[in-house]
A and B are shown apart, each in its own frame.
Chain A
């Protein structure tokens, strides 16, 4: 875990440096405006008083001297108030920076925790299923399959696509694979159907991509859902029929039984299942 950086009153952070001038400008402007108002009102009133006095005995020199003294008084008030506001701005910006830094640390800690959980699950899942189920991070998925060009791409939008996809993939592989016959054919289509049904049931939609490897067909079922909850993975693996919106559903035992390998890549932007029949 990363060491928490110390935040002292004099330790400037990046946010201080950005926020401080902005806050100073805003407070200085509002202060100037307030002081200017008070100053003008006061000066007008004062000059008015002096002019009334001048009718009696005030000379021009004495008038200017009194006015200058009044202006000095206002300059002094303005400086003191500006100083107070600068200090207040600094303190506010310091508090904001401290809060933001804490939030950032919490997010970072959450990310580290998720990565740790993911790595643990990945190892455990691989060991328990003897490599039949694999977890990949989005980066690993991109590295492994990002360059592959699908031979067939079909959209998944509503339930009528389930039958359509099954028929299309069946026809497509029938023309290209010599060994596309039962039980491989029926089992692969059943597993594909399970994965596509999950997309229709639980996500706004997705796509299926078909590839042919030297070992057989490979289907990528990619959706635009919220991703799977890794915390529920043990239930998906070991509890028969367990199903919620963010698991692989009740069809998962069927897929685990009939497929050579399932690779799962999930993130908040969606899930990709790689099914090797």
Chain B
């Protein structure tokens, strides 16, 4: 299961993710992100410290946001201090394109 909490609102949004982010739970995050007003959004930070699990599909979803928000000049950041999650992010190549 995935829990998404917005700890900081517009224009610089921070979303704290807890639980598991994969194909099965991606819709929960999508719902929250789709509810944001893109006109007022300046940047979005995904905090992954509380994540217990993420796979390549979950990472793919975050990369998807990075690419789509770039068209609106919205910055996307990934905030993570979880060693296991960081290793997977690096393996898939996220750190080569997305900032911390």
Contact = CB atoms under 8 A, between A and B. Distances in A.
Interface of A: 159-160, 162-163, 166, 182-183, 186, 189-190, 193-194, 197, 200-201, 240-241, 249-251, 253-254, 257
Contacts of A254: 55-56, 88, 91-92
B84 interface: yes
Interface in B1-26: 1, 20, 22-25
Contact of A162 (B23, B56, B88, B93): B23
Given A240-B92, A253-B93, 6 more contacts: A163-B24, A163-B25, A200-B23, A240-B93, A250-B57, A251-B56
B34 to A, nearest CB: 18
B65 interface: no
A136 to B, nearest CB: 24
Nearest to A257: B91
A190 B52 CA distance: 11
Contacts of A183: 84
B91 A193 contact: no
B57 A197 contact: yes
Interface residues of B, number: 17
B60 A197 contact: no
B53 interface: yes
Contacts of A163: 1, 20, 22, 24-25
30 contacts: A159-B23, A159-B24, A160-B24, A162-B24, A163-B1, A163-B22, A163-B24, A163-B25, A166-B53, A183-B84, A190-B55, A190-B88, A193-B22, A193-B53, A193-B55, A194-B56, A197-B22, A197-B56, A197-B57, A200-B23, A201-B57, A241-B92, A241-B93, A250-B57, A250-B92, A251-B55, A251-B57, A253-B92, A254-B56, A254-B92
B60 A250 contact: yes
Contacts of A190: 53, 55, 88
Interface in B56-76: 56-57, 59-60
Contacts of B93: 240-241, 253
A188 to B, nearest CB: 12
Contacts of B57: 197, 201, 250-251
Contacts of A162: 22-24
A37 B24 CA distance: 75
A134 B20 CA distance: 31
Nearest to A256: B91
B88 to A, nearest CB: 6
* Most A CB within 10 A of own CB, among B53, B55, B88: B55
A160 B26 CA distance: 11
A149 B92 CA distance: 34
